[in-house]
Amino acid sequence: MLSHLYVLTDDQHYPHSSWVERIEQALIGGAALIQLREKKLTDQQLLPDALQIQALCRDYHVPLIINDRIQLARQIDADGVHLGKNDACLQQARACLGNKKIIGISCYRSIYQARRQQAQGADYVAFGRIFTSQTKPYAGHCPISVLRAAQQQLTIPVCAIGGITSRNVKSVLATGVELVATCNSVFNAPDPLQAANNFLRAGIIRS
């Protein structure tokens, strides 16, 4: 199974004015999917950046996923949304965005929840944190064995997230997951292009 690099933004380390440049570097480096994750601003405050990032992703033919914000995703015609346990439900997102948009769901370490979300129409499910994460240091741990079980029991793509770096990614790739998600290791890296390239050298394929 071939794995792709899924890069998330972070609202804690870099100003929004630098986001477009950092995302473009990740795209040049080989990111196959971008997630815009911002927890502090309102939709209207985030809108100008979101439109700019959406245009950039389209230039590179890479899907843009919006974390949580269903209405914003609809407003900018993003390619989909990613939902966690405290966000809106899958049915609400599907009703708002339609059947052609990507909807990803965080399942943490629950295969049961992943099967349930698959049955309800999720396009991919995410498990994590796999390793110690600087972005979410207090998130619960998800063993590598859960990724293997998910690959065996699910038919939709599986995403691994949490503390994954180019140095430890090979154990994740060995499970066959389709998506490897990272925030700190690429978006927050001093050189996002080089950081993304490091993942490619470790075995991730270019988009």
* 36-40-43-49 Cα dihedral, nearest 10 degrees: -50
- Active-site position among 37, 69, 94, 101: 37
Q: Which CATH superfamily is domain 4-201 in?
A: Aldolase class I (3.20.20.70)
pLDDT tens for residues 92-148? 999 999 999 999 999 999 999 999 999 999 999 999 999 987 777 777 899 999 999
Q: From the CA atom positions of the chain, what is the Rg in Å? A: 16
Cβ contacts of 189 within 8 Å, gap of 6 or more: 195
Q: What is the pTM of this model?
A: 0.95
User: Mean pLDDT across the chain, nearest whole number?
Assistant: 95
What's the rounded Cα separation, in Å, for the pair 115 and 133?
25
Amino acid at 198: N
**3-state DSSP assignment of residue 142:** coil
User: What is the model's pLDDT at position 17?
Assistant: 83
Strand stretches in 53-205, DSSP E: 64-67, 80-83, 102-108, 124-127, 158-161, 179-182
What's the rounded Cα separation, in Å, for the pair 102 and 2?
19
User: What is the model's pLDDT at position 86?
Assistant: 78
User: What is the model's pLDDT at position 88?
Assistant: 76
The per-residue b/e assignment along 87-98, b for 16 or more CB within 10 angstroms, e otherwise, is bbebeebbeebe
Q: Is 106 a catalytic residue?
A: yes
Q: Are 133 and 167 in contact (CB under 8 A)?
A: no
Q: Is 136 a catalytic residue?
A: yes
Cβ contacts of 56 within 8 Å, gap of 6 or more: 20, 23, 24, 27
Give me the residues of the chain with pLDDT under 50, please.
none
Distance from the Cα of residue 156 to its chain's centroid: 15
User: What is the model's pLDDT at position 85?
Assistant: 84
- Active-site position among 106, 133, 166, 185: 106
Distance from the Cα of residue 90 to its chain's centroid: 16
- Active-site position among 74, 116, 136, 148: 136
User: What is the model's pLDDT at position 1?
Assistant: 61
User: What is the model's pLDDT at position 187?
Assistant: 97
